[in-house]
Amino acid sequence: MTSKLYQPLLIGVAILALAGCNKGANTTEKMASADNGPAAATNTTAAAPSDPIQSAESAAPASIAHSASVVIIDANNNSKVLRKGSNGWTCMPDSPATPGPDPMCVDANAMKWADAWMHHKPPPQGTVGVIYMLEGGTDASNNDPYATQPTAKNDWIKTGPHVMIVGSKEVLAGYPSGPKPDTSAPYVMWAGTPYEHLMVPIGK
């Protein structure tokens, strides 16, 4: 594996962790997100888990996903490129280690943000990135970027299909950032931390 390929795969591990880092193993919690209003609407292109490329492509609009690289990461963080893309986006299929579907597609700037998050480093400023998760897939703490399960103090919330805008504090202005936001409308996640970002739910 060349060093040029190795770096994006490591970042891919970070992004996959982002999809599942804040999700507990409680399947009931995951299933409950289906009752969370318009933002919890499922994508009609949901893919069978046995087809990782189709699963990965379901995370973003076809105009992005069909030309993106597809990377798969197993439970041991072993990475494999299933398809080399041509548009600078990277998509990952649903993780079998998490209770529900959570494929995602990220642009190059979002990869830099995720790498900073993974290594507890300040993310690059003024480098706006986009992450698509049209299948949903977050049961997460809204105050702790590294929480792995709900507690009495970490403001666990649920969000359905959404787009994440990362890497810009300016874009957050005017959006609610409380511990228990209305997840059917845009809100700020992880407010007050270096990794605060805008969550934009996508529903019918």
Q: What is the pLDDT of residues 89-148, one digit of tens each?
A: 999 998 776 666 789 999 999 989 988 998 899 999 889 999 999 988 656 788 888 877
Report which of residues 99 and 159 the model is more confident about.
159
**Banded model confidence at residue 170, pLDDT cuts 50, 70, 90:** very high
Alpha helices in the chain (DSSP H): 3-20, 27-32, 52-57, 62-65, 108-118
Quote the pLDDT of residue 23.
Answer: 44
Quote the pLDDT of residue 45.
Answer: 43
Rounded to the nearest 5°, which phi and psi values hold at 118?
A: -60, -40
Report the helix count and the strand count for the chain, using DSSP H and E. Answer: 5, 10
- Per-domain residue ranges of the chain: 3-201
* Residue 27, SS3 per DSSP: helix
Check if the beta carbon of residue 155 is closer than 8 Å to that of residue 139.
no
- Which of 202, 164, 157 is CA-nearest to residue 179? 157
CB count in 10 Å sphere of residue 184: 16
Quote the pLDDT of residue 34.
Answer: 31
Quote the pLDDT of residue 38.
Answer: 36
> What amino acid occupies position 7?
Q
Q: What's the whole-number mean pLDDT along residues 191-197?
A: 93
Q: CB within 8 A of 170, min separation 6: which ones?
A: none
Check if the beta carbon of residue 85 is closer than 8 Å to that of residue 69.
yes
Alpha helices in 70-141 (DSSP H): 108-118
Residue 190 Ramachandran class (φ > 0 left, ψ -120 to 50 alpha, else beta): left
For the whole prediction, is pTM greater than 0.85? no
Q: What is the pLDDT of residues 38-80, one digit of tens each?
A: 333 334 344 445 789 999 999 999 999 999 999 987 767 677 9
Quote the pLDDT of residue 74.
Answer: 73
Report which of residues 35 and 116 the model is more confident about.
116
Per-range mean pLDDT, top range of 7-21, 64-78, 163-177: 163-177
Report which of residues 182 and 83 the model is more confident about.
83
